[in-house]
Amino acid sequence: MGAPDTEPGRLITLEGGEGAGKSSQIDVVAECLRALGHEVVVTREPGGTRLGEAVRAVLMTEFDTPMPAMSELLLMFAARAAHLAEVIEPALARGAWVVSDRFTDASYAYQGAARGLGDEAVATLEHLVQKDRRPDGVLLFDLPVAIGLERAGRRGQGNRFDRETIVFHERVRAAYLARARAAPARYRVIDASAPVEVVRSQIRTALAAWT
C-alpha cells in the first residue's frame, strides 16, 4: 500500500498599495499559521527565486526611458512562472501553506488598471502561466493613498513605483477594492491605517475564517 495522500497546502497572499504595511505584517501571518500546526513558506513577488530577484532588480530600476507597460507586465509573469515552478507549487504539493507578499492581484491593480493595459491582458497571462492556480485567501491591506505614500517616503530609499503620481496610486487602490468586492469570500480587507494591534487582530480574524 502506498503512503496516504498529503492534503494540499494553501496559498495566502498579501496585497495593497505602497506603504500599506504588508511586509511588516507577513511574519504575523506566518506565526498565526505555524501556531495552528502548518508548515509555512514565506515568499514575495516579484522575487522568491534567483530569476525572480534578478527580475525584481530590473523592475525597480529607473532607466533613461520609461519601461513600456507591456514589458513590465511580461517581466512580472516571467518571474511568477519561476516562482510557481520552484517555490509555490512544490510547497503546496507537500502540504505547506505559502504566504506571499503580492501575487497576481498586483498585476491587475498595477499593470492592468494603473498602467492601462486592462484586465484581459493580465487574465490571458494568468491563465497561461498559472492554469487554475489562484490564491485561497487574499489579505488586502487598504489605506488612503496619501497616508501610504507618506509611510513609503519614511522608509528612505524608494523605487520607481513609489514615485508614480497620486492618480496612478488611486487607480491601484480602486482596482484592489473592486476585486475584493467581486469575490468577498476570498478577500479580507484589512484597515491598514489602524493601530498595529488592531491590524494584527484583523489578520487573526481573517485567517480564522480560512482555517
- The reply, when asked if residue 17 is annotated as ligand binding, is yes
Burial class (CB in 10 A: 0-12, 13-18, 19+), 161: middle
How do 11-16 and 187-191 pair as beta strands?
unpaired
- The reply, when asked if residue 156 is annotated as ligand binding, is no
Question: Per the structure block, which three cell numbers stand in for 52?
Answer: 525572480
Q: How would you list the strands of the sheet with 137-142, edge to edge?
A: 40-44, 97-101, 11-16, 137-142, 187-191
Question: Per the structure block, which three cell numbers stand in for 153?
Answer: 517616503
- The reply, when asked if residue 95 is annotated as ligand binding, is no
- The reply, when asked if residue 31 is annotated as ligand binding, is no
Rg (CA), the chain: 17
Which helix (H) or strand (E) element contains residue 29?
helix 22-35
Feature table: binding site for ATP = 16-23
Feature table: binding site = 16-23
